[in-house]
């Protein structure tokens, strides 16, 4: 099992993306990044943190338990469970452990259980499904290696942003140029919304909207 990673981290890179919509982040990354097929199970708060990656055997969560021992504040536990939904990989107890240790949330390419506990909490949780069946605990698994989640490769230390529309991930070294583009688009869209409200909006083909 690999547990070695040493990624330089600037917390301001994370703070800059607080409240930024995943749709606009995605627009400025050629609309390509981000896991597909996962949905939020928590109460709707933004998920924002850095990836602590885990690869598991199908239906087995031993490596996730081991990863919980490595959590640092702000980590998002990102799990490549192969997309299998026959057994839950995390539940309420593992949520409580991760939350107590300062994790920002879970991103699970697989299933969870105790979904009611997640639904009542702002602790971020994205997964494919919920099921009552519990996991095996035999291993093997890997920690802090590149993983594939919902068709998206996530590296250890990548920035993870999640909202009601889904999740995007990107390398920290891309954050500074990306946030400039994201903030510029937010400003443009605010101007568009204002022009719609005051009746001066011109559509994609230059036509002035009817008042």
Is residue 98 included in any domain, yes or no? yes
Tell me how crowded residue 200 is: count the other CB atoms within 10 A of its CB.
11
Nearest to 110 by CA among 64, 46, 69: 64
pLDDT of 206 reads 53
pLDDT of 9 reads 56
Is residue 200 included in any domain, yes or no? no
pLDDT of 58 reads 95
Is residue 48 included in any domain, yes or no? yes
The full 3-state SS of the chain, as one line of letters, equals CCCCCCCCCCHHHHHCCCCCCHHHHHHCCCCCCCCCCCEECCCCCCEEEEEEEEEECCCECHHHHHHHCCCCCCEEEEEECCCCCCCEEECHHHHHHHHHCCCCEEEEECEECCHHHHHCCCCEEEECEECCCCCECCCCEEECCCEEECCEEECCCCEEEEECCEEEEECHHHHHHHHHHHHHHHHHHHHHHHHHHHCCCECCCCCECCC
pTM of the model: 0.89
Domain that holds residue 94: 11-171
pLDDT of 204 reads 59
Is residue 138 included in any domain, yes or no? yes
User: Mean pLDDT of residues grouped by 10 in the chain (211 residues)?
Assistant: 45 89 94 88 94 97 98 97 98 98 98 97 97 96 97 96 96 94 95 92 59 42
Instruction: Report strand pairing: 152-154 vs 147-149.
Output: antiparallel
CATH number, domain with residue 96: 3.50.30.40
Number of domains in the chain: 1
Is residue 54 included in any domain, yes or no? yes
Is residue 139 included in any domain, yes or no? yes
Is residue 179 included in any domain, yes or no? no
Is residue 18 included in any domain, yes or no? yes
Q: What is the CA radius of gyration of the chain?
A: 19
């Amino acid at each position: 099992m690999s547990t070695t990673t040493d990624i330089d981290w600037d917390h301001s890179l994370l703070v800059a993306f607080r409240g930024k919509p995943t749709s606009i982040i995605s627009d400025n990354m050629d609309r390509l990044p981000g896991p597909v097929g996962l949905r939020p199970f928590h109460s709707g708060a933004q998920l924002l943190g850095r990836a602590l990656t885990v690869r598991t055997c199908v239906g087995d969560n031993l490596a996730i338990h081991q990863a919980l021992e490595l959590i640092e504040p702000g980590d998002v536990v990102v799990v490549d469970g192969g997309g299998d939904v026959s057994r839950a990989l995390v539940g309420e107890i593992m949520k409580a452990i991760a939350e107590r240790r300062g994790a920002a949330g879970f991103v699970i390419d697989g299933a969870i259980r105790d979904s009611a506990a997640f639904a009542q909490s702002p602790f971020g949780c994205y997964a494919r499904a919920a099921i009552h069946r519990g996991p095996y605990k035999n291993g093997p698994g890997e920690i802090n290696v590149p993983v594939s989640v919902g068709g998206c490769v996530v590296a250890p230390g990548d920035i993870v942003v999640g909202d009601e529309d889904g999740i995007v991930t990107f390398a920290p070294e891309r954050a500074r140029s990306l946030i400039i583009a994201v903030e510029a688009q937010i400003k443009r869209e605010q101007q568009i919304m204002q022009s719609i409200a005051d009746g001066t909006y011109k559509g994609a083909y230059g036509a002035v909207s009817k008042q």
